[in-house]
Amino acid sequence: MTNHPAAVGDPGPGVVMPIGGAEDKIGRMTVLREVVRLAGGAQARIVVLSTASSLGDEITHAYLRLFATLGAADVQGLRPESRAHAADPALVAALDGATGVFMTGGNQTKLATLIVGTPVGDAIVRAHQRGAVVAGTSAGASICSLHMVSFGSGGSTPKFRVGQVSEGLGLVRTAIIDQHFTQRNRFGRLIALIAANPAQLGIGIDEDTAALISADGRLEVKGRGVVTIFDGSDVVTTAYTATGTQPLMISGIRMHTLPRGAVFDLTTRQLVSAPGLFDQDEPTAVATLADVPDGARPRTRRIAAEGRHETVAELRRRPERRASS
């Protein structure tokens, strides 16, 4: 799943690309480059939707420059500030011609309130259905879900009413997406939401990290951090009896932490592949002396050195060596 086809002329739904926020904008820009590539590269027509941001035209112009610098053929910015604005035919026409849509960060409740169920929101869904890549960072990532995290507090302990969900765009219908995940310690709220909604997977995305979700339900990780997935299929919980903000009893949730290059199937809820993972299809066998090549001689130093640095005695000697040097 390393080479997703570009959206240009591609039948069927395009890639949905939620980003955990704070994506690199001055270095290699791995995540933003992927947006341009999926939108068609030199033929990309990208529309930036900045409604969620409080930075106004500043953030719109910043992304327009970034995508143009990365080689997109055409970039446009939209910023509807009311549901009436989100019915403007000119905005809808811009989205209808896009091969990529990028939703900025900010306030996802504002984004959902002003966009979901409007002609602009419907145009984003249509763009996805005809093959355009739809990407969103931070708040723009959360709204990709059908059940969107609208607000909640951080912390590692799942508690009753620690988070709230609202209706999102529904581009990803089987998972609740959270962002800035490790950096803002949002484990507790996503686990609590999954305990109360076990039919949904929980997807927590780190900063400068993206989850590329294809139409077949496969998710591939790009970027610097990890994507954390919670599966509550077999959960046992007190989520439906708790009161106030008390901690929840939760048992049986499975957790997957997926670094760059890992592929996960959201339909089967199973890992597909990951860099450095032993090939599970490779046959195993019992080695005997007959398998040792004639004339083979062990490399004594190499064998003796293996693992030496991991011994307690070696670790204890290290500070002494530094002090004497």
- Residue 318's pLDDT band (cuts 50, 70, 90): low
Residue 218's pLDDT is what? Answer: 98
Q: 44 and 139: one domain?
A: yes
What per-residue confidence (pLDDT) applies to 25?
A: 97
Q: Is the pLDDT of residue 323 over 80?
A: no
Same domain, 79 and 180: yes
Is 176 in the same domain as 319?
A: no
Residues classed as catalytic? 138, 180, 207
Assess whether 94 and 196 both reside in one domain. yes
Lowest-confidence pick of 193-207, 238-252, 261-275, 309-323 = 309-323
Helix or strand holding residue 65 (H, E)? helix 57-69
Q: CA-CA distance, 194 to 203, in Å (whole number)?
A: 10
pLDDT at position 237, please? Answer: 97
Does residue 116 sit in the same domain as residue 150? yes
Q: 160 — phi, psi (to 5°)?
A: -65, 135
How high is the pLDDT of residue 7? Answer: 43
Domain-embedded: residue 5: no
Using the predicted structure, report yes or no on whether residue 226 has a pLDDT greater than 70.
yes
Residue 3 belongs to a domain: no
Beta strands in the chain (DSSP E): 16-19, 45-49, 74-78, 100-103, 133-137, 147-152, 163-167, 175-179, 201-205, 209-213, 218-223, 227-231, 236-237, 250-251, 254-258, 263-265, 270-273
User: Which pLDDT score is estimated for 299?
Assistant: 80
- Same domain, yes or no, for 164 and 305? no
Residues 40 and 182 in one domain: yes
Confidence of residue 87 (pLDDT cuts 50, 70, 90): very high
Q: What percent of the chain has pLDDT over 70?
A: 90
Maximal C-alpha separation, the chain: 81
What is the average pLDDT across 159-188?
96
Query: d(Cα 79, Cα 64) in Å, to the nearest integer?
Result: 13
pLDDT of residue 316: 58
Q: Could you list the residue range(s) of the whole structural domain that residue 314 is in?
A: 289-324
What CATH number is given to the structural domain containing 234?
3.40.50.880
Residue 11 lies in a domain: no
Task: Read off the pLDDT of residues 30-60 as tens digits, 9 standing for 90 and up.
Answer: 999 999 999 999 999 999 999 999 999 999 9
Same domain, 216 and 315: no
pLDDT in tens, 268-306: 999 999 999 877 777 888 999 898 898 888 887 777 766
What is the percentage of the chain residues whose pLDDT exceeds 90? 79
Would residue 284 count as lying in a domain? Answer: no
Domain-located, residue 53: yes
Which among 133, 144, 141, 143 is positioned nearest to 46, based on CA atoms?
133
- For residues 247 and 306, state if they share a domain: no
Whether the pLDDT of residue 1 is over 70: the answer is no
- 166 shares its domain with 268: yes
Based on the structure, what is the number of domains in the chain? 2
For the chain, the distance separating the N- and C-terminal CA atoms, rounded to the nearest angstrom, is 50
Residues 309 and 187 in one domain: no
Cβ pair 216, 201 in contact under 8 A: no
**Phi and psi at residue 15, in whole multiples of 5°?**
-75, 135
Model's pTM, two decimal places? Answer: 0.87
Paired with 48 in beta bridges are 77, 102
Tens digit of pLDDT for each residue in 96-136?
999 999 999 999 999 999 999 999 999 999 999 999 999 99
User: What is the β-pairing status of strands 263-265 and 218-223?
Assistant: antiparallel
pLDDT of residue 9: 47
Task: Answer whether residue 108 is part of any domain.
Answer: yes
- Whether residue 6 lies inside any domain: the answer is no
- Please indicate, yes or no, whether residues 169 and 104 belong to a single structural domain of this protein: yes
Which of 224, 215, 214, 152 lies closest to 189, judged by CA? 152
Token pair, residue 159, equals 């508690």
